[in-house]
Amino acid sequence: MYIYPNVIARLPVILAVVVLGACATTSTKRVQVDPALAAREAEVQKEMYVKTQLRDQKRVQAIAYPMLVNGAPICDKRTRPGSGFVFGNKHTWPKDFQDAAVSAFGVGEELQVLSVTPESPASRAGLKEGDLLLQFGDKVLPQGQKADSKSLNILQEKMKVGEPLAITANRDGETTQLSLTPDLVCDTLVVYTAGDEVNAYADGNAIYITSGMLRFVESDNELATVIGHEIAHNAMGHRDKKMTNFLLGSILDVAAAAYGVNTQSAFGNMAASAFSKDFEAEADYVGLYVMRRGGYSTLESPDFWRRMGVASPGSVSTKYSGTHPGTADRYIALDQVNIELSAKESQGQQLLPDPKK
């Protein structure tokens, strides 16, 4: 028989691999590990994880806030009152990470301020991380499980743009009264999500920035480029809010914001249902306006998208750039927008995107 010469020629090689595989074993000693020490080390690593998540979440929100406030005229009717702080208690974290959160942040059953965005209403009101929250206005806040989402609802009901809201807090054992006056901001929640993909999404209600994206960006201006682009998708109503409202309960609460919850499974579908190239081009155009209004330089933005285009094809080209305009088009268009923005600035014109002719 002379039918499969290739297979027959390779047989000895295949057998050799199988045999080697079967005998493979280590030849040096295995270092003995004390299980108690390993358990302690696992807790240390979890604590590092929750701290890193909160730190990264804070960075994303700090970069986003000036764009949400100053971009409000572009968001037009898609605006709401904004406060600029995140709170939670130990139940805000999943069970596995509660002990870590308790030792990292000292959280318990009461609601505690976890982060305060710089130059936001919360920071102007004098709220500080670690403050225990007792009341929003006349409403006494709950404790324990679900206290975070219930209190977020109370806060959203009480906040009116430009109207002071009394916040009663406990700081170092003493009751303190603070007054928070909400800003008018673009109606977009900013969520930092766990995930290695270099990715970002907008769903009409919120924008999601992955930890992979945070590792990819090389500066605040680059991160602002991504966030500005995603805010622009929501500002221009590219995705119908109603379509994604089903996610509100599980994802858009303070828990997600504080923990950087893994939303990858929920958003796999969203990434697949890409925006049209027209919407992408509009998000690029409007996104640079949102950035400039937020006080960021947009000069690095064309190079950022160029870098996205040439970076790791596996994670970037299929999942992200694949849904976005060709990088050559995009680079040239963004350069033109920068010229337009500089011209408007030097003529003292308002930074608002030009309508379709």
Residue placing its CB nearer to Zn ion in the complex, 283 or 286:
283
Q: Is 324 helix (H, G, I), strand (E, B) or coil?
A: coil
Residue placing its CB nearer to Zn ion in the complex, 166 or 270:
270
Q: Is 228 helix (H, G, I), strand (E, B) or coil?
A: helix
Residue placing its CB nearer to Zn ion in the complex, 203 or 280:
280
Residue placing its CB nearer to Zn ion in the complex, 133 or 283:
283
The answer to whether residue 198 forms part of the interface with Zn ion (CB under 5 A) is: no
How far is residue 47's CA from residue 54's CA, in Å, rounded to a whole number? Answer: 11
Q: Which residues contact 133 (CB under 8 A, 6 or more apart)?
A: 87, 110, 111, 112, 113, 141, 151, 167, 168, 169
Residue placing its CB nearer to Zn ion in the complex, 115 or 210:
210
Looking at 11-19, 34-42, 214-222, 275-283, which segment touches Zn ion (CB under 5 A)? 275-283
State the chain's maximal CA–CA distance in angstroms.
Answer: 92
How far is the CA of 215 from the CAs of 54, 211, 233, in angstroms? Answer: 15, 6, 23
Count CB atoms within 10 A of the CB of residue 169. 22
145 alpha-carbon distance from chain centroid: 24
Looking at 107-115, 121-129, 241-249, 283-291, which segment touches Zn ion (CB under 5 A)? 283-291
Residue placing its CB nearer to Zn ion in the complex, 131 or 280:
280
Find the binder of Zn ion among 122, 283, 286, 316 (CB under 5 A). Answer: 283
> What's the closest the beta carbon of residue 292 comes to Zn ion, in angstroms?
18
Q: Hey, which residues are catalytic here? A: 230
Count of residues interacting with Zn ion (CB under 5 A)? 2
**Phi, psi angle pair for 16, to nearest 5°:** -60, -40
> What's the closest the beta carbon of residue 74 comes to Zn ion, in angstroms?
16
> What's the closest the beta carbon of residue 342 comes to Zn ion, in angstroms?
24
Restricting to residues 12-71, name those near Zn ion by CB under 5 A: none
> What's the closest the beta carbon of residue 230 comes to Zn ion, in angstroms?
7
How far is residue 1's CA from residue 113's CA, in Å, rounded to a whole number? Answer: 78
> What's the closest the beta carbon of residue 201 comes to Zn ion, in angstroms?
8
- Name residue 255's amino acid: A
Looking at 45-53, 156-164, 180-188, 273-281, which segment touches Zn ion (CB under 5 A)? 273-281
| Contact status, residue 98 vs residue 129, Cβ threshold 8 Å | no
| Contact status, residue 333 vs residue 281, Cβ threshold 8 Å | yes
> What's the closest the beta carbon of residue 320 comes to Zn ion, in angstroms?
9
Query: Which H or E run contains 140?
Result: strand 139-140
> What's the closest the beta carbon of residue 233 comes to Zn ion, in angstroms?
6
Residue placing its CB nearer to Zn ion in the complex, 241 or 344:
241
Which residue has tokens 């923005």? 341
**102-104-105-111 Cα dihedral, nearest 10 degrees:** -30
| Contact status, residue 231 vs residue 207, Cβ threshold 8 Å | yes
Q: Which residues contact 60 (CB under 8 A, 6 or more apart)?
A: 190, 192, 209, 214, 223, 227
Q: Is 230 helix (H, G, I), strand (E, B) or coil?
A: helix
Positions touching Zn ion (CB under 5 A) are 280, 283
